[in-house]
Chain A
């Protein structure tokens, strides 16, 4: 699981600005995911991608966008349409959609 790199670790954003969180993996995994974590809420799925050039909305996709142009990269953009973006964001990947998922170190986003 050390092969999933998220950046930046900490990010501050002004209201009304878009921000992009990076996620890179060198595990040759086909599937990648973005989760949001709030206190007491567990992990909620934002978007997932089963394979390059394909992605699907998860449970809380509104206000977020993603792309999957390369197998190793799955960036998440938090748009100004996301009403409450302050959270801990976790990227994850798995060998295939059917395999165990592993998480990156996470990115803390704070809106100021």
Chain B
């Protein structure tokens, strides 16, 4: 099955700086890569996703890049703000975006800390 590795496990950046979180995946059939943000004790919320037919997608201060050859994808947050502090999860799926078995496999998460 799919295996998703996420790095780093903790990332501390100064407010206003950029943050980059990286994920690698093992199944070359994966074609859907969402990113979820989870604040302490709350539900994960989808913040951006990308499909394998594009290499980059941007939404305001958030962008995701995908390198299918190298099997890695990254989340980029620019001009970080205190409200960006949370745990971020990447995921990969070979079946579209469904969450069932052989569907979404999650990374272990990155705790992003924005220092004032």
Complex: chain B residue closest to A100, CB-CB: B97
A69 located at the interface, meaning its Cβ lies under 8 Å from any Cβ of chain B in the complex: no
Q: With A98-B95, A98-B96, A100-B34 known to touch, is A43 a contact of B44 (CB < 8 Å)? A: yes
Asked whether A1 lies within 8 Å of B98 as measured between CB atoms, the reply is no
* A31 CA / B42 CA spacing, docked (Å): 21
| CB proximity to B under 8 Å, residues A52-107 | 56-59, 88, 90, 92, 94, 96-106
Complex: chain A residue closest to B42, CB-CB: A105
Asked whether B106 lies within 8 Å of A42 as measured between CB atoms, the reply is yes
How many positions in chain B have a CB within 8 Å of any CB in the partner chain? 25
Complex: chain A residue closest to B107, CB-CB: A42
Asked whether B106 lies within 8 Å of A43 as measured between CB atoms, the reply is yes
Task: Point out the residues of chain B lying under 8 angstroms from A103, CB to CB.
Answer: 36, 43-45
A51 → B minimal CB distance (Å)? 11
B99 located at the interface, meaning its Cβ lies under 8 Å from any Cβ of chain A in the complex: yes
A41 → B minimal CB distance (Å)? 6
**Which one of B36, B43, B89, B103 lies within 8 Å of A106 (CB-CB)?**
B43
A44 → B minimal CB distance (Å)? 8
A55 → B minimal CB distance (Å)? 10
Task: Point out the residues of chain A lying under 8 angstroms from B108, CB to CB.
Answer: 40-42
Asked whether A98 lies within 8 Å of B97 as measured between CB atoms, the reply is yes
Task: Point out the residues of chain A lying under 8 angstroms from B9, CB to CB.
Answer: 40
**B-contact bits for A17-46, CB 8 A (1 contact / 0 none):** 000000000000001010000001111110
Asked whether B42 lies within 8 Å of A50 as measured between CB atoms, the reply is no
* A92 CA / B46 CA spacing, docked (Å): 12
Chain B positions within 8 Å of A, measured between CB atoms, are 6, 9, 34, 36, 41-46, 49, 89, 95-101, 103-104, 106-109
A-B contact pairs, 17 of them (CB 8 A): A31-B99, A33-B99, A42-B6, A42-B108, A43-B44, A43-B89, A44-B106, A56-B100, A56-B101, A58-B101, A92-B99, A98-B95, A99-B96, A100-B97, A102-B46, A103-B45, A105-B43
5 other A-B residue contacts (CB within 8 Å) besides A33-B99, A90-B44, A101-B98:
A31-B100, A101-B97, A102-B46, A103-B44, A106-B42
